[in-house]
Each structure stands twice: as C-alpha cells, then as structure tokens.
Amino acid sequence: MKKNIVKNRVLVIVFIFLACVCFYSLRLMEIQVVNGKEYVEKLNKGTSVSQRMKAARGEIVDREGRPFTYNRVGYNIIFDRVYMSKKEENDTILKVCKVLESTNEKWADNLPLTHRAPFAFLPNREKDVEKLKKHLNIGQYATADDVVYWLKDMYKLKDYNDSDFRKLAGVKYAMQQQGFNYSTNYTFAYDISLKTATLIREWGYEMNGVSITEVAMREYMDGDLIPHVIGRIGPIYAEEMEGLLEKGYQPSDYIGKDGIEMIYEDYLRGKDGMKKIYFNSEGDVVDSVDEEETIPGNTVVLTIDKDIQRVAIDSLKKQIEHLNETAPEGKGKEADSGAVAAIDIKTGEIIALVTYPTYDQAKYGQQYNELLADPLKPLWNRATMGRYSPGSVFKPVVGLAALNEKLETPDSKIGCYHVYDYYPNTVFTCLGHHGPLTVKEALKYSCNIYFYDAGRRLGIDKINEYAHRLGLGEPTGIEINEFKGVVSNPEVAKKHGVPWNPGDVLQSAIGQMYNEFSPLQLASYTSALAGNGKRMDLNIVKSIESYNRDKVVFDNKPKVMSNMDDVPAEVFEAIREGMVMASRSGTAIATFGNYFVDVASKTGTPQTAGFPNSTFICYAPAEDPEIAVAVVIEKGWHGYTGAPVARDIMNKYFEKYSEHIPPEVLKAREEEAKKQAEAESEKENSDKSEEKTEE
C-alpha cells in the first residue's frame, strides 16, 4: 500500500516536470521563432519615456485677421527635484546664476527686496511685501532687516555673503511659490537666448537637475494698440494650481492673467499631446510614437479694427499734446489722459477702444515697476473702468424724457435768462442768456436752464428711468471687466453720507452730482440714441475659429438688449435734430460745421474736484446712423476739445466701410496724398543731390 502511494507521487512529480518542460519549450519557441523579431526590437529599445508635446496657444486677431499675438520658439531653464539633491541645490543655483550673469540674462525673482545690501523693501511693492511677511510668518510691522534674518533662517543661508544670499533667497522663495517638489518642476528662467541655452547644456554635467526646454513664447504685435483688452499670460503660482492640474495644466505652464488672454483661456490654450520615445540599451533613440494628438488653441477674432484703433489712439494723444501746447493755464493746458470708444451701431461691435496713456505689452515685464509708479496710471483701463461725470452729454436723456412724458413738445419753449431761481436761497446759472428755447435749440447751445426746469418737473426717478433704458448705469455686454456706471439718486447720496436736496435733481439733470459712467457706456448710450432706443449687446469678440481658421467654433451674432418701442420716432427725431444743430452751428461747429455728412453730437464740460474734464459724444450719418463715438479727455476743460478725435475716427471709418463719402471728398484726399508723396520724393532726391555734392 505504502509502495503504491510513493510510486504514484513519483509519477505525479515526473508528469509535472515533463509538463513544465513542454510548456517552457513551447514558450521559448514562441519567443525565439514566432515573435522573435518583436522581442529583439523591444530588447534593443531598452527603455521608453513619455514626453508632453506642448500645444501652440491660439492667436488673437483683429476683425480683418491681422494678429495682435503670435507664437515663437523660446528656451526656458527648468529645475528638476528628482535629479537635484538638496545638498547640492545652493551650489547648483549659484552656478546657473553665474552663467546667466555672464550673458546678461535675468531669472525669475519676485522677492520684493533690493538686490544689494543694505537691503530694503522695493518701492510700490506693498502687496508683495505683505505676502512675503505672511510667508515667513512674521508680523506686518517687521522691517527689511527682520525679513532678511528670517529668510536666512528659513533657507539656511547664514553662511553666504550678501550677494549670494540675495540670489539664493530670491530663487528659493520663487521655487516655493511655484510648489517645487519631486512631481513639480520649477522654471528658473524664461525665454533665454540660444547662446545661454547652449552654455547651460555644455555645463550640464556640473549642474545636476538643470535642463533646457523648448517652449512656445507669446509675442505681441502692435503691443501699444490695445494692451488693456488683450491682457497677458504669466506663470502659474502654487496658490493657483488647485483645480488646474485636473484640467491638464503643469506647474511650468503659462496661463492667461487678465483681458482676453484670461477670459478666453479655455479656447486659447489648446490640448497638449503625448509622445512615447524609445531608447535602445545604449541610450540612443530608436523610435517615437504619438500617443495623444496635439491640438493647437483656437483663434479669437476681435471686433476691433487695427486701422481705426491706431487713428483713435494717435488722434487722442495728438489732441492732448495740442492742448498742452496751446490752451491757457487752467483751461485745458493740464490735459494729460483720456479714453475713446467707437461702436458699430447696427451690430454692437466695438470698433475701437482706447486708453491713454497706454503701454507696450512687449515691454510689460521690463517696465512693470515704472508703469505701476506712473501717476497717470497707464495700466488702468480708462475706457471700460473709468468713472467719469458725463456733464452736458447727459442732457439728451432729460430732453427725451421731457418730450415723451409730454412735459414739453418739440416746439414748446423754456426761457433762459442766465439765472434759475426756482428754489429760494439757491441760484443756478447758465453760461449764456439764451432767451426762450426749444429742446433742439437747448441742445444746440447746451443751455443749462432748459434742462434744470425740465429735470425738476420730471423728478429724479423719471430721469433715471430713461437713463437706464438708454443704457446708462447698465452693463454694456462687453466680455472683459467694466464699470457698469452709477446714475445719480438719493440712495447714492446716502452712501456718501450726505442728505439729498431738491436742487440735486437739477444738477443731476445736467449730468453732474453722482452720475458716473465709463467712456464705453457713454458710447453705448449714444448708440441707443442713434437707434431710436434700440440698445445692442456690445461685443469685442467677433468670433472664435480653429487655429488655421478653417472652422468657426463660435460666432457672436448681433443681439438686441432692449428697445424703446413705446417712444415715438418723432421724439428721437427732435433730439437728433438738436444734436445735428450742435454740430452744424452750435457747440461743435468748429469741427463739424462743414462735415460731409450730418453728425449728431453733444459736448460736455463736467466739473470735477480739480480741472473740468471734456466729454464728447456723436453718431453719424445722422439720417442713417452707422458709428457712435465717445471721447473723454481728463482736464480737457471744454467738451468740444474731444470733437477732433471723433472726427478723425469717423474719417477713417467712412473711408473703409461706408459709401457716404462724396466723390469730391475722395478726390481731394487722393490729390492731397499725391502731393504729399511728390513732396517726399522731391525731398529724397534733394537729399541725395546734397550727398553727391558733399562727396
């Protein structure tokens, strides 16, 4: 019995052994014969890595497809914690700094301390200083010396000289800000030269964990044209990473920080691809396979016309400089800034949007501190965020309301005898003695008395009702941030901690008191007047298209936000006639008295705490409106000083988009251009002749 059991066990063991031999023999045959070639290739490849292929960022272009942005290849220096030991970290950082100093390049450093001892806080960096102190967990009253002490303590830098300490502290602080760790690389320097990149690669054996990566760098064309709208991109900081990793962002990526770059980030960024790279046993690349397709970002097409935008900004600058040179002291000579908005009345598309002074996006990084310290605040988007009292350009609101509420008719008159003394012990005045005036004549001469009386009888609630219906104090619809405006009323006075008096209605009726609107909102209001109360949703993005522009992703169709169908056309017509009279023979006669189309305009000189501003609105052609323009010049004194800017904009608009320009005007312009070309040619020939004579 026992012998049989042993015999059976032996047979089982022999069977299992033979089965294993057969299995492995067959497997070996499969590897060597059937799939031999495949396994040899795998063996030769040795290892593989997956590499992210960065998608090109989509472009931002004007309405005709002319670019505001483009991409080029750049080089960044990357630190990788996996290969950079903490023991060698400081020495490695100093070596990289030395290379960049030799080529006069800069590296990322947002530490708000001077670069040389004795160390002090950098000017105009209060928020950054506050953030640094919070990072060091020290009180907000800590001095620069306190900050230096705790930086040395936190980063173990007590044994370094002042120069090396400052370099290391700046870099290590930035590394922490971007969350540098084993899974997150740190971008030490952006967009270095090819020469510097080559040096870093050559000295790579001495700088473990330091590498060069090629990236698509954002560039801006005509960077001074509309930087406040385009916005900018920048590196992702540690506190911003939450939620972005899930969207596929890497810590070394750039992201839109403001303007169109930020708001349309999801359309512009594209989708990164993945490529698998195979190496043989000797480390040579033997194959690469695209695992995920790289999809470039979409193109954002703006409604802005570059030609008209350039005319607008040049004209505004020229007019301010002209006032500086020719206006009397206290009456326009102090003009220093302003804004312009121009709108296509039929579509609501913003054709031009200017803030002056402006800045150049291409130099934003280098000039940031200077721009921040500039008292004229060039970084502030005056066109959409400016808070300006409208002054007399508000009067069409009151005139329209008075006519529609049947307090007045187009032909009824209110007497102006310079003084309005309806309220006892309070005297309101006008600049003139106009006598009896219709609403049209009151708009022509910008008579205060007419609108004091009409405003008093309307009351503040009714005035504000019409103001809101025309778009004042309402969002315009623009895609970027804007100030939605404030319409003067008792609630606003209460917020200011002052009582509301009956006379405040009169001041509100002529655009003073608490009325505050942006230039864009004034243009929107002007467009609504031109369209008989039809208020369009304003847009600065015309469409979104694929990167190569062969497919429309989103088309921004014109949209009506509100109508004033209950207001008869003859009411708007009366206001229109009054505004045309202001152009032909009234307050804007110097600019539009002989213009080739009828222009409906209104001037304003709102009082401010300092010198009065200049406000000007207009639309044209009055009989079939196409374009609305609003101009604000800070300290410009007279409303009509903005009119030449509006005229230059309309000249360019009609030249490009309208058939309203008479043949004789076009012929005169062609002859003028021909004479100018001939004069330049004669000058060039004269210069060449003088050069030959000298020889």
Place of tokens 């309070």: 426
Instruction: List Cβ neighbours of 188 (8 Å cut-off, separation of 6 or more).
Output: 76, 77, 78, 79, 93, 96, 107, 108, 171, 210
The residue among 630, 640, 4, 47 whose CA lies nearest residue 332 is: 640
Rounded to 5°, the CA angle 503-505-506 comes to 70
Instruction: List Cβ neighbours of 110 (8 Å cut-off, separation of 6 or more).
Output: 128, 170, 173, 174, 177
Q: What's 570-617 look like in SS3? A: HHHHHHHHHHHHHHHCCCCHHHHCCCCCCCEEEEECCCCCCCCCEEEE
How far apart CA 382 and CA 314 sit, in angstroms, is 16
DSSP character at residue 551: S
- Token pair of 661 as six digits: 């320009």
The residue among 612, 684, 625 whose CA lies nearest residue 658 is: 625
DSSP character at residue 190: E
How far apart CA 320 and CA 340 sit, in angstroms, is 13
Q: What is the mean pLDDT of each successive set of 10 residues along the chain, which is 695 residues long?
A: 55 57 55 53 58 84 96 88 86 95 92 94 92 93 95 95 96 89 83 91 87 84 96 83 82 88 95 76 67 90 98 97 95 96 97 97 88 94 97 98 97 94 88 92 96 97 98 97 96 95 96 97 98 97 94 95 96 98 96 95 92 96 96 95 97 87 65 65 56 37
- Token pair of 326 as six digits: 């020719």
The residue among 551, 554, 552 whose CA lies nearest residue 541 is: 554
* H-type alpha helices, 481-598: 490-495, 503-509, 519-530, 569-584, 589-592
How far apart CA 63 and CA 25 sit, in angstroms, is 72
Q: What is the maximum alpha-carbon separation in the chain? A: 140
- Token pair of 138 as six digits: 């020290």
How far apart CA 267 and CA 545 sit, in angstroms, is 9
User: What one-letter code names the amino acid at 33?
Assistant: V
Q: Per-residue b/e over 575-597, b at no fewer than 16 CB within 10 Å?
A: bbbbbbbbbbebbbbebbeebbb
How far apart CA 379 and CA 230 sit, in angstroms, is 12
Q: Judge contact between 228 and 208, C-beta under 8 A.
A: no
How far apart CA 335 and CA 514 sit, in angstroms, is 23
- For residue 203, how many other CB atoms are within 10 A of its CB? 14
Rounded to 5°, the CA angle 529-530-533 comes to 50
The predicted structure's pLDDT at residue 677? 62
How far apart CA 256 and CA 260 sit, in angstroms, is 8
Rounded to 5°, the CA angle 129-375-516 comes to 105
How many C-alpha atoms does 104 have within 13 Å on its Cβ side?
Answer: 0
**Strand blocks (E) in 241-359:** 254-258, 273-279, 285-292, 299-302, 337-344, 350-356
- For residue 429, how many other CB atoms are within 10 A of its CB? 12
Q: Per-residue b/e over 670-686, b at no fewer than 16 CB within 10 Å?
A: eeeeeeeeeeeeeeeee
How far apart CA 630 and CA 608 sit, in angstroms, is 19
The predicted structure's pLDDT at residue 239? 74
How far apart CA 642 and CA 653 sit, in angstroms, is 17
Q: What is the dihedral of CA 55, 56, 62, 67, to 10 degrees?
A: 180
The predicted structure's pLDDT at residue 657? 87
- Token pair of 63 as six digits: 């309405």
